[in-house]
Amino acid sequence: MPLTTLARTRTHGGNPWKLMREQGLSRAQVLDFSLDVNPLGFPEVVQTTVRDHVEDLRCYPDPDALALREAIAAYHEVPYETILPGNGSAELITLVTRFGPMANTLVIVPTFTEYAWAAEQAGATVVSHQLEETRGFQPDFPTDERVRDLDGVFLCNPNNPTGVALPKDRVLRLADRCRASGCLLIVDEAYVEFTDRPQDVTVLPEASQRDNLVVLRSLTKCFAVPGLRLGYLVASPALVETLRAKQQPWPLNTFALAVGVALLTQGDYLARSRQLMRELRDEFQPAITTIPGLRPFPTSVNFALCKIEPATITSSDLTQRLAGRGILIRDCDSFPGLEPGRFIRLAMRTQKENRHLFRALREVLGHDG
């Protein structure tokens, strides 16, 4: 299945700034359930680190990002030569597609649209491997014959927007098949810190030792600092050096470099975050199930994919009606591989805010039904 029209829409959630302008709302008056970041908010160390590094604005940022690379390496217990930070994982996705000849790229859908867009911009022919709704979008990997014809495969794990997390042994089996075919496997683990046991999902340690495996990570989601644009990849030292040579100068600003180092000391914060996510999921999914007209899919992370059952309202209609109440949700029409007009993604916020969302959904869907 070709994805030649995928780049036509590159929607990344709601736009709170636009909603504030149109409705005269303050930031505090907008509830953004399209933004899939940690509901705890960022740690206190973020503000103190920014204040402590104001004077550093007089200098250019470290072009080697050495302190951040060393901090990430220590956190994951891998060599720092295997780390490459970037301006969010989106920049790194684009960078990876510039590595070597990737004329034929496969994307397992439904998933994040940037993979196909970046590959298309690099001149690749992009095809999809469609996951089945009837199986809960559980991944079943392409055949050996299909992998043999590819230069690159993108896998999001845990997946956006489905929330499905594959165990690491299954991902490594796919990596082995890709290696046998001379194919690069790129695994985006932006949401892995939201799972109960990241160590059972991540293949990051293996990426530092293999020549055909790249793992992408985001610090902005798990630490709730999306405005910083801060991510990194892990790969073999040779691949990292090749990609560094193609990266723009100073990809990360002074504050991102300093805050990134500080965030990696916040182990207690991540532990509290996982406990909170378990509690929120335990309430969120059963509550969504009781809302007439919504069918949620099981999730292992901080958001849930839901199908709208009544034919009388579309995902766009529902998104617009909730926006009129100051609530943003993710209309999933831009995700390839999902039935148009039928899917939304709901991020989990605080318990109080989630219950406000539940009431609004019941009112809107109940009235329409």
Angle between helices 351-368 and 315-323 in degrees, nearest 10: 120
Angle between helices 237-246 and 88-97 in degrees, nearest 10: 100
The pLDDT of residue 7: 42
Residue 72: Cβ within 10 Å count: 23
Could you give phi then psi for residue 71, rounded to 5 degrees?
-65, -45
ω into residue 79 within 30 of 0, thus cis?
A: no
Taking CA 335 as the corner, what is the angle to CA 15 and CA 28, rounded to the nearest 5 degrees? Answer: 20
Residue 216 · residue 224 · CB < 8 Å = no
The pLDDT of residue 366: 83
Q: Is 68 helix (H, G, I), strand (E, B) or coil?
A: helix
Residue 107: Cβ within 10 Å count: 28
Distances (CA, A) of 145 to 105, 175, 177: 14, 15, 10
Please, what are the averages of pLDDT over each run of 10 residues along the chain (369 residues)?
48 63 67 91 95 95 95 97 95 90 89 94 92 90 72 95 96 93 95 96 97 96 93 97 92 96 94 94 94 94 94 92 92 93 96 96 79
The pLDDT of residue 218: 95
The pLDDT of residue 13: 58
DSSP 39: T
Handedness of CA 166, 196, 349, 215 (dihedral sign): negative
Cα gap 334→132, rounded to integer Å: 17
Cα gap 243→95, rounded to integer Å: 7
The pLDDT of residue 369: 45
The pLDDT of residue 297: 96
The pLDDT of residue 5: 44
Cα gap 279→363, rounded to integer Å: 25
Largest CA distance in the chain: 59
For 37, the enclosing helix (H) or strand (E) is none
